[in-house]
Chain A
Amino acid sequence: MSYLRSKSPRAREKRLDALSAWQGSADAVARELSGEEVVQRIRTFSQSSNDDLVMALRLLAGIAGSVVVVHAPRGCAAAGLNHRIEQGDGRWIVTNLDERDTIMGADRKLRMAVTDAVRRYRPEVVFVLSGPVAAINNDDVQSVALELEDELGVKVVPVFTTGFVSRNAVTGFDIAQHALMKHLGSLVHGHSEGNVVNLLSLGEHQADRMEAVRLLGLLGVEVNVLPDGASAENFRRAAGARLSISLDHDTTGYLAEILREEYGVPHLEVPRPVGEGAAGQWLISAGKALGREAEALRAHEEESRKAIDAFGSFSLKGLRIYLSLSPAKAAALSGFVEDHGGEVAGITVTYLDRLHRPYLDTLARRNPQLKVHVADGQPFEELNIVNRIGPDLYIGDSAHIAQVARLGYPVVSTERLPSLGYRGLALLAVRIGAALKNRTFFDALAFAGTPYREAWYRRSPHWHIKKEVK
């Protein structure tokens, strides 16, 4: 079966039974995702969260030599401003659909926008990212893209996001990766000799990417990084690599799967290399797979020594810590918390799917009663849970962390914090130390109060999660 024959991949909830709403014990969720049928849950009250369009835009903003044409009304490109200003790249044009376009269709407008994008920026590739209006209208983006590709002599890649096709925003990463490989991937299938390793990195801090490249460099291989900062050439080269290694299986798992199934590039499944233990496992596994075990072990020894010096006497002993992150990041930080003597008091993860079974089994074995909450951007539930648990520290990377902080507990954000590699968590340790040492700012925030009624805090946090009736 060819992965890439279809226009777009199926939504995560259909492909991998991904859950976007859940609350219960680690034990129960592990069982649910190992069972025959996973019953989807929906919310009867919800709050804004990421969607496939936002995630695809984030990914595509990082592709070198590209322009994104957002085929939608203006607001669908708003996040582009964020990516442009934060990453300094990601040029975009919005087709700026108006009321008339919602009735008549807007193929002509799309043609003009793409043509203008090519004229202005001379890109190597133009992505056409569809929003809900184009999706509902069923604009024929594919034909326009094909025609313009011929006419302009530039790759024009349609990316079929909709904003409503999936309850799991991570589907947007899948959709974008599918489009990238379908249109930019090599036409030659089959394994080739060479010394190239694919480093699959999406939305990682630049320092983290560089650290991973450095570590793989110690093994004497040539590193091909994608999709972060990649150009069309990196996607072509990816097919001939010896091996793919992910930094975060949640974000790039689908890309790894395509490379394996379509091009025969094996994928090394190792946890996120955060902290000394996991980084060592990551490096040594790569060394073994590449026939460079001796180099890997030597490097590991050296790096470990430096890491121990970097942490000094850092300890989380006696502290109950709440984590709110994507699943792979939560898994990585759980290890860090426990390695330093802390206790994970509960976790919120953005979603969970069948691929997380090994992780959930480990969680359930260690602490079957651990509270697990699945939610992307539903702070009303999170605040209720955190308020009940009363942790000593909260660590997260969401857009609502400033709201959680209004409960008054010490909060640390990892959103823009580099964390990968042996010494990656040294910076986090410094932030944690500061948050625990002086809490006045959290007290000040608590004064602002949370947005919710008192009655909500008396309700069960999972009050608004119901089984979906089909």
Chain B
Amino acid sequence: MSQHIAETRNSCALHGALQLIDAIRGVVPVIHSNAGCGMQHFLGINRQGNNSGPYGSPPVSSSNISEKHVVFGGSSRLREQLKNTVKVVDGELYFIVTGCSTEMVGDDIPAMAKEGREQSFPVIYANTPGFRGDVHHGYQLALKALVEQLPGLEGEKRSKKERRVNVFGILPGQDPFWRGNLEELGRLLEGIGLEVNLLPGEELGVEAWRRVPEASLNIAVSAWGEPAAKLLDERYGTPSLFLEALPVGHAAGNLLRSLAELFRLDAEKSDRFIAAEDTRLRRRLAELSDLYFQAGLQQSFALVGESAAVAGIAEFLTGTLGLLPGLLAVTDPLPEDTSETLMQSLSGYQDEFGAQVVFSEDSARIADAIIESKAGIVLGSEFERPAAEELDAVFLPVSFPLGRKVVIERGYAGYRGASAFLEDLFSARLSGKT
């Protein structure tokens, strides 16, 4: 049973589905719900990411049901809305997503989508009422709908490509650095000789999703990509690699080495590539060392964010930068078995450094844990700023909502991400305590 939450950073399933859809060029969401659901998405997610969305507005199609539809059903309203959306809004694929009211009323969404397809509109759907889960769950529902329903709209069968890899599991917006993180992972994978299909695909748009069956391996970054990976295994027999942590810095090298082995790539070439990246990062670290010592950067830190980012950044901070973990707070509501596995991986921080590990999305509880940690450096979201101020600690926004930081193409994954992270961390230290 779910519980109430104080100031959550994880919105509802509908909003999670919209996050993914908005990141695919040419896909138009058709919301079947109250007028305000899309506005809440814009105010609560787009604006908190300092991002005006693909069209510079709240969602461009919403059936805005009224009392009449709650009483008598809203299917006919959706039929009308879908037909007119295709006429008014330019798109390659129309994606019906639903809110709580229309699901409670029991509108038959699959039937409406089917009707649309019979009129040769390219339509898919996902039932995404907020009462069914959070923003991560919504991302998964939309991902599943794309994997399951898109091939039905396409004529041609896709054949596998030997070195092609799908990368997914990074939630647009919920990971504020999603674009930069994906791009860097893509750059590194290409660097050792793989072909990448980065999802959501952005500029490639729907075509990226059509290519999904072509992959020989799926890389699911974060636990949120796992169900889709399993689905792809069932449908296309594609094996998967799960990344619990975002690889930051040298951790990326380990990932590349194991992939090179898995794909039996030219070892000399990939080793050369990895060595060059490793060397570059080590040189940058050496250049920063004077500042590191002056600023007394070797302090304890409290890190708050999504599981993959927390695991990845904690590894870099502890394993490369020599900082001391005081608190690790994971804010995405992981399924129980996943959080147990993650807990095991994070237990080293507890045993060796006495770090506290917290799984919670309750901002008030997290703030208490930060204060208790007495950390000198706090990395988290805008929600964590007051606690950082109270501790007079250095504050670096790294998770949603970023508040006063704007990110468009920056990422913290990989080697370049490590450099960007170092820039941000050291700048935060220099620009005053908070």
Q: A84: which B residues are within 8 A, CB to CB?
A: 7
Please report the C-alpha to C-alpha distance between residue A206 and residue B39 in the assembled complex, in whole angstroms: 24
Contact status B43-A82, CB under 8 Å: yes
How far, in Å, is A120 (CB) from chain B's closest CB?
A: 6
For B81, the closest partner residue in chain A by CB is A45
Interface range for B: 35 or more
Q: Which of B35-79 contact A (CB under 8 A)?
A: 35-45, 47-48, 52, 54-67, 69-70
Minimum distance in angstroms from A342 CB to a CB of chain B:
25
Q: Is the beta-carbon distance between B56 and A405 smaller than 8 angstroms?
A: yes
User: Contacts A75-B14, A402-B56; is A82 near B47 (CB within 8 Å)?
Assistant: yes
5 A-B contact pairs sorted by A residue (CB < 8 Å): A45-B61, A45-B87, A112-B3, A164-B34, A402-B56
Q: Tell me which residues across on chain B come within 8 A of A286, comparing CB atoms.
A: none
* Cα–Cα, bound, A66→B159 (Å): 59
Q: Is A176 on the interface with B (CB-CB < 8 A)?
A: no
Contact A78 B4 (CB under 8 A): no
Tally of A-B residue pairs with Cβ under 8 A?
245
B90 touches A54 (CB 8 A): no
Residue on B with the closest CB to A448? B56
**B117 on interface, CB distance cutoff 8 Å:** no
The verdict on B176 contacting chain A, using a C-beta distance below 8 Å, is no
Given that A74-B11, A74-B130, A399-B58 are known contacts, is A116 also in contact with B4, CB under 8 Å in the complex?
Answer: yes
Name the B residues within 8 Å of A94 (CB-CB).
4-5, 8
Tell me the bound Cα distance from A107 to B101 in angstroms: 19
Asked if A93 and B39 sit within 8 Å, CB to CB, the answer is no
Q: Which of B3, B54, B59 contacts A48 (CB 8 A)?
A: B59
Query: How far is A117 from B132 in the complex, measured between Cα atoms in Å?
Result: 24
Cβ contact within 8 Å between B1 and A78: no
In the complex, the answer to whether B66 meets A164 with C-beta atoms within 8 Å is yes
Is B321 close to A, CB under 8 A?
A: no
The 4 closest A-B pairs by CB, nearest first: A78-B44, A48-B38, A75-B12, A402-B56
- The verdict on B382 contacting chain A, using a C-beta distance below 8 Å, is yes
Residue of A nearest to B16 (CB): A75
Contact string against B for A residues 386-410, beta-carbon threshold 8 Å, 1 for contact and 0 otherwise = 0000000000000111111110000
CB closest residue in chain B, given A51: B36
- CB closest residue in chain A, given B362: A93
Least Cβ–Cβ distance between A320 and chain B, in angstroms: 23
Q: Which residues of B sit under 8 angstroms from A399, Cβ to Cβ?
A: 39, 42-43, 57-58
Q: Is B206 located at the chain interface by the 8 A CB criterion?
A: no
C-alpha gap A99/B70 in the complex (Å): 18
**How many residues on A have C-beta within 8 angstroms of the other chain's C-beta atoms?**
75
Give B163 Cβ to nearest chain A Cβ, in Å: 34
Closest Cβ of chain B to A152, distance in Å, is 15
Residues of B within 8 A of A (CB): 1-15, 28, 31, 34-45, 47-48, 52, 54-67, 69-70, 80-81, 84-85, 87-90, 99-101, 104-105, 129-132, 134-135, 364, 382, 401, 403
Complex CA distance for A401 and B401, rounded to whole angstroms: 22
B137 to chain A, nearest CB (A): 10
A43 and B61 alpha carbons, distance in the complex (Å): 12
A76–B40 touching, CB < 8 Å: yes
Q: Please, which residue of chain A has its CB at the minimum distance from the CB of B85?
A: A45
- In the docked arrangement, what's the CA distance between A457 and B165, Å? 42
A451 touches B60 (CB 8 A): yes
B126 shortest CB reach to chain A, Å: 15
Complex partner residue of B84 from A51, A102, A402, A464, CB under 8 angstroms:
A464
Judge if A133 is at the interface, Cβ distance under 8 Å: yes
Q: Is A92 an interface residue (CB 8 A)?
A: yes
* A77/B8 in contact, CB under 8 A: yes
> CB-CB < 8 A to A97: which residues of B?
2, 131
Once A78-B45, A94-B5, A132-B100 are accepted as A-B contacts, the answer to whether A46 and B39 lie under 8 Å apart by CB is: no
Q: In whole angstroms, how far apart are the Cα atoms of A82 and B275 in the complex?
A: 45
Distance of A214 from chain B, by nearest CB (Å): 29
A79, A97, A169 — most chain B CB neighbours (10 Å): A79
- Tell me if A253 counts as interface (CB < 8 A to partner B): no
A70's closest neighbor in chain B, by CB? B4
- Contact check, A82 vs B44: say whether CB atoms are below 8 A apart: yes
**A76-93 CB contacts (< 8 Å) to partner B:** 76-82, 84-85, 91-93
Which chain A residues border B3 with CB–CB below 8 Å? Answer: 96, 109, 112
Q: Among A47, A81, A109, which residue has its beta carbon within 8 angstroms of that of B44?
A: A81
Q: Is the CB of A451 within 8 A of B44?
A: no
Contacts of B34 in A (CB 8 A): 51, 53, 132, 163-164
Given known A47-B60, A453-B89, contact A377–B39 (CB-CB < 8 A): yes
Asked whether, in the complex, the Cβ of A132 is within 8 Å of the Cβ of B101, the reply is yes
Q: Which residues of B sit under 8 angstroms from A81, Cβ to Cβ?
A: 7, 9, 43-44, 48, 401
Asked if B80 and A44 make an inter-chain contact with CB atoms under 8 angstroms apart, the answer reads: yes
Q: How far is the CA of A386 from the CA of B13 in the complex (A)?
A: 35
Name the residue among A49, A53, A75, A448 with the largest chain B CB count within 10 angstroms: A75
Task: Tell me which residues from 88 to 138 in chain A have a Cβ below 8 Å from any Cβ of chain B.
Answer: 91-102, 109, 112-113, 116-117, 120, 131-133, 136-137
Chain B residue, CB-CB nearest to A93? B6
Question: Complex Cα distance A246/B45, Å?
Answer: 32
Assess whether A99 is in contact with B7, with CB atoms less than 8 Å apart.
no
Tell me whether A455 and B2 are in contact in the complex, defined as CB-CB below 8 angstroms, given that A51-B35, A78-B43, A132-B101 are known contacts: no
